[in-house]
């Protein structure tokens, strides 16, 4: 065979083999030529001979994909994946326990908490929970160095998952058939006689005449995000009030076993001494609660009484500061069931606020809802243009919606600041 033809034939065979098995383009190649073969045959003849052998092997299926050996068997993969899962569980057992404690109160939560607490008890003595805590502590230190760390006072409100008592089994309760009084359409009238906050303002000026008025923003994520920023940025009149944000997302008044606001508010008031307080609670409270050893399902007998007592306790605690409190209602929510629960909570807020002369309840439906009071993502502004007032989650305010609410809140702040200033000058 002519050497040129042999070389071309070898190339053609190699390409056919390569097209047949693209995943192994070099499968058609024969083993390296030995020294004897190089001396016996010319290079083109040896390549042609080995190309014919490779073609024959390909025809027999020797180089097919089905003949590729499996790197790992199924039992081996199962063992590896299981080992990784156990390792991650060991490192994140405390985080999983925290997650389980924040679940909806019920039988499922009880089972998860008890299981994870048992795992935690086994891992704690051998130090497998230490890496996670060290990483969290390091992150907290870095955040504080950058000025973004949480207030240590507020951080004390979170309960340690390893110290929390195990939840009790759920107890069925009959539905609450007690009629609920409807709140008035308008917020309670502003108390204009003998305002207790005037005494606080007078005392503050006597202690430090140059100290600005302190406005405390208190609550959950409804006031932690764009609304809190909008309120703070809108307070531009001089003398500009001092704004303190005491907010914790994913908290409320229904789950003191997760975060206890009644524990952190007294030292917070003592430290900041605010004259005006703006609160927003309830976005995370439309859930079952635990009252002692009883589990009370939302809307069932006893739930309203227990939750109303917690709201009253918070309002009483804030009012003891002798400042003025503005309690923001929950806006309509996109999910119909959530919106109905928000209205249920608003009725409790409105009725409880009437018990305290320093507390004013502010209904927000007219600002961020449709004309009929239902949820709306977009509403018309004063210029007749549609603006987005709610975020994609159907719960929180968009920047434009936050500005609409903040405009009314800031007017309330300035109104009371002027009255407090007049009262202090008179005294």
Residue by residue, DSSP assigns 213-262 as: PEEEEEESHHHHSHHHHHHHHH--SSSPPEEEEEE-TT--SS-TTTB-HH
Q: What DSSP string runs through 294-313? A: EEE-TTBTTHHHHHHHHHHH
Residue 373 has pLDDT above 60, yes or no: yes
User: Mean pLDDT lowest for which of 72-86, 167-181, 223-237, 279-293?
Assistant: 167-181
Q: Strand, helix or coil at 85?
A: helix
From CA 124, how far away is CA 117, in angstroms rounded? 10
Residue 19, pLDDT score: 57
User: Mean pLDDT lowest for which of 49-63, 297-311, 345-359?
Assistant: 49-63
User: Mean pLDDT lowest for which of 1-5, 257-261, 303-307?
Assistant: 1-5
Cβ of 359: how many Cβ atoms within 10 Å?
A: 24
Q: Where in the chain is the domain with CATH 3.40.50.1110?
A: 196-426
Residue 160, pLDDT score: 65
Tens-place pLDDT, residues 222-258: 999 899 999 999 998 888 899 999 999 989 999 998 8
Taken in order 398, 403, 406, 407, the sign of the CA dihedral is negative
Tens-place pLDDT, residues 341-352: 999 999 999 999
From CA 33, how far away is CA 5, in angstroms rounded? 20
Residue 327, pLDDT score: 98
Residue 259, pLDDT score: 92
C-alpha distances (whole Å) from 100 to each of 105, 186, 313 are 10, 41, 27
Residue 185, pLDDT score: 41
Say if CB 356 and CB 319 are below 8 A apart: yes
CATH class assigned to 196-426: alpha beta
Tens-place pLDDT, residues 259-275: 999 999 999 999 999 99
Cis geometry, peptide bond prior to residue 239 (ω within 30 degrees of 0): yes
Say if CB 291 and CB 329 are below 8 A apart: no
User: Mean pLDDT lowest for which of 116-120, 147-151, 194-198, 220-224?
Assistant: 194-198
pTM for the whole thing?
A: 0.68
Residue 236, pLDDT score: 83
């Amino acid at each position: 065979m002519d050497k040129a033809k042999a070389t071309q034939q070898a190339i053609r065979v190699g390409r056919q083999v390569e097209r047949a098995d693209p995943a192994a383009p070099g499968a058609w190649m024969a083993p390296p030529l030995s020294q004897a073969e190089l001396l016996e045959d010319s290079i083109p003849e040896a390549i042609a001979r080995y190309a014919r052998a490779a073609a024959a092997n390909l025809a027999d299926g020797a180089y097919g994909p089905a003949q590729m050996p499996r790197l790992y068997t199924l039992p081996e993969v199962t063992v590896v994946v299981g080992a990784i899962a156990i390792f991650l569980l060991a490192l994140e057992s405390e985080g999983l326990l925290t997650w389980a404690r924040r679940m909806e109160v019920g039988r499922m939560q009880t089972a998860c908490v008890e299981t994870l607490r048992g795992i935690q008890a086994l891992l704690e003595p051998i130090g497998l929970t230490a890496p996670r805590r060290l990483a969290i502590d390091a992150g907290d230190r870095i955040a504080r160095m950058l000025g973004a760390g949480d207030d240590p006072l507020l951080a004390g409100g979170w309960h340690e998952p390893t110290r929390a008592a195990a939840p009790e089994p759920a107890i069925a309760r009959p539905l609450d058939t007690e009629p609920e009084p409807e709140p008035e359409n308008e917020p309670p009238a502003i108390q204009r006689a003998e305002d207790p906050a005037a005494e606080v303002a007078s005392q503050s000026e006597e202690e430090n005449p140059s100290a600005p008025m302190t406005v405390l923003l208190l609550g959950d994520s409804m006031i932690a995000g764009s609304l809190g920023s909008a309120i703070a940025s809108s307070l531009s009149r001089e003398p500009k009030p001092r704004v303190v944000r005491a907010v914790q997302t994913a908290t409320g008044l229904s789950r003191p076993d997760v975060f206890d606001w009644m524990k952190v508010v007294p030292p917070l008031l003592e430290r900041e001494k605010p004259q005006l307080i703006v609160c927003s609670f309830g976005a995370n409270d439309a859930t079952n609660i635990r009252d002692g050893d009883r589990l009370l399902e939302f809307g069932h007998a006893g739930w309203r009484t227990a939750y109303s007592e917690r709201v009253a306790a918070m309002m009483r605690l804030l009012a003891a500061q002798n400042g003025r409190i503005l309690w923001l209602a929950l806006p309509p929510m996109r999910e119909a069931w959530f919106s109905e629960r928000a209205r249920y909570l608003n009725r409790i807020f409105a009725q409880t606020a009437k018990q305290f002369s320093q507390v004013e309840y502010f209904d927000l439906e007219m600002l961020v809802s449709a004309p009929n009071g239902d949820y709306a993502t977009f509403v018309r502004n004063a210029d007749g243009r549609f603006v987005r007032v709610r975020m994609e989650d159907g719960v929180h305010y968009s920047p434009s919606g936050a500005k609409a609410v903040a405009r009314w809140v800031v007017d309330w702040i300035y109104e009371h600041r002027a009255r407090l200033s007049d009262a202090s000058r008179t005294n």
